[in-house]
Amino acid sequence: MKATLVPVDSEVLQGNVLAVEDFDASADFSAFEAEYLGRYRPVYVSCKIPLDRVGEVHSLEEHGFRLIECQIRSAIILRATTNIPAVPYAFEKVTTDAELDAVLQAVGTAFENDRFSVDPLLPGDVSGARYRSYVERSFRSPDEAVYRLYDPKEGTTVAFKTHRYVGNAEALLLLGGVSREYRRLGLGVVNTYAELNELRRLGITRAVTHFSAANYQIFNLEIGRLGYRVLKTFAVLRKIYPRSLAT
């Protein structure tokens, strides 16, 4: 069992954010918690437990952690390129800071179901700032990429995707979304197909992703329509500590 600092989330919440990994219900969690409190003085700690380990979920609940998300890990084998309906938008890799700025504006309105958006104990503007930081990080990372769906005539960005190349012809799909004013017009489908086609063009044969079970749109699209296969489901729990305890 270990507690790892999450730099982007820490910056956004303006206090240390930790992720507990390899949770062990048989270990002395109180002692473990006291150790990470003394070392990091966190404001927010999360832990992801496979949903079939309900006893571990209950154990964390006894220590003040609360369920904040049911997360699904799924994968798709990229066998063939999909014909995308003709739309007046282009899907291209973001290569300049100006293009990134346009994507970051879209990011701010794209998320509603993530564990930071739905958390009643967090300020409402945290999620957008968090995802902007992650997208910017993807843009600067050599093994990650940011793509956008945009109107080539006006330059308007309507949707985006980010992913990481993890080797063995596999990619981890990180973030994606459609600007609020273009939502549920079919552009999320185009955005998703375009990303998978691009990955296939680059030689990727398998893509893995995570999404919230509360995101019915993505649930229906990826599992119901595109044939993603569920690999594992998780309960994500979090505990928020008073800032008086934090650094």
Partner 1 sequence: MAPPLDPMTPKEIAELLQAWVQERTGETVDPGLQFAQSDLLDSFDVMELVVFSESRFKLSFSAGDFANPDFATLAGLARVIHSRI
Shortest approach of partner 1 to residue 44 CB, angstroms?
A: 31
* Residues of span 81-100 touching partner 1 by CB under 8 A: 85-89
Q: Using the rule CB under 8 A, which residue among 4, 220, 231, 232 binds partner 1?
A: 220
Q: Which is nearer to partner 1, 158 or 236 (CB)?
A: 158
Site string for partner 1, 180-199 (x = CB under 8 A): -xxxxxxxxxx---------
Stretch that binds partner 1, among 24-32, 52-60, 80-88, 239-247 (CB under 8 A): 80-88
C-alpha to C-alpha distance for 227 and 185, rounded to whole angstroms: 21
Q: Which two tokens stand for residue 99?
A: 């293009």
- Distance separating the N- and C-terminal Cα atoms of the chain: 23
Q: Which is nearer to partner 1, 5 or 87 (CB)?
A: 87
DSSP states of 156-203: -EEEEEEEEEEETTEEEEEEEEE-GGGTTSSHHHHHHHHHHHHHHHTT
> Residue 24 — left, alpha, or beta (φ > 0 → left; ψ -120 to 50 → alpha)?
beta
Q: C-alpha angle 9/13/18, rounded to 5°?
A: 50
Stretch that binds partner 1, among 3-11, 72-80, 95-103, 218-226 (CB under 8 A): 218-226
Shortest approach of partner 1 to residue 185 CB, angstroms?
A: 6
Size of the site for partner 1 (CB under 8 A): 24
Shortest approach of partner 1 to residue 210 CB, angstroms?
A: 19
136 DSSP 8-state letter: H
Site string for partner 1, 148-177 (x = CB under 8 A): ---x-xx-x-x-------------------
C-alpha to C-alpha distance for 184 and 223, rounded to whole angstroms: 17
Shortest approach of partner 1 to residue 195 CB, angstroms?
A: 14
CB atoms within 10 A of CB 34: 11
C-alpha to C-alpha distance for 10 and 243, rounded to whole angstroms: 13
Pairing between β-strand 170-178 and β-strand 206-212 as defined by DSSP bridges = parallel
Q: Which is nearer to partner 1, 117 or 156 (CB)?
A: 156
* Residues of span 109-148 touching partner 1 by CB under 8 A: none
Residues in contact with partner 1 by CB under 8 A are 85-89, 151, 153-154, 156, 158, 181-190, 217, 220-221, 225
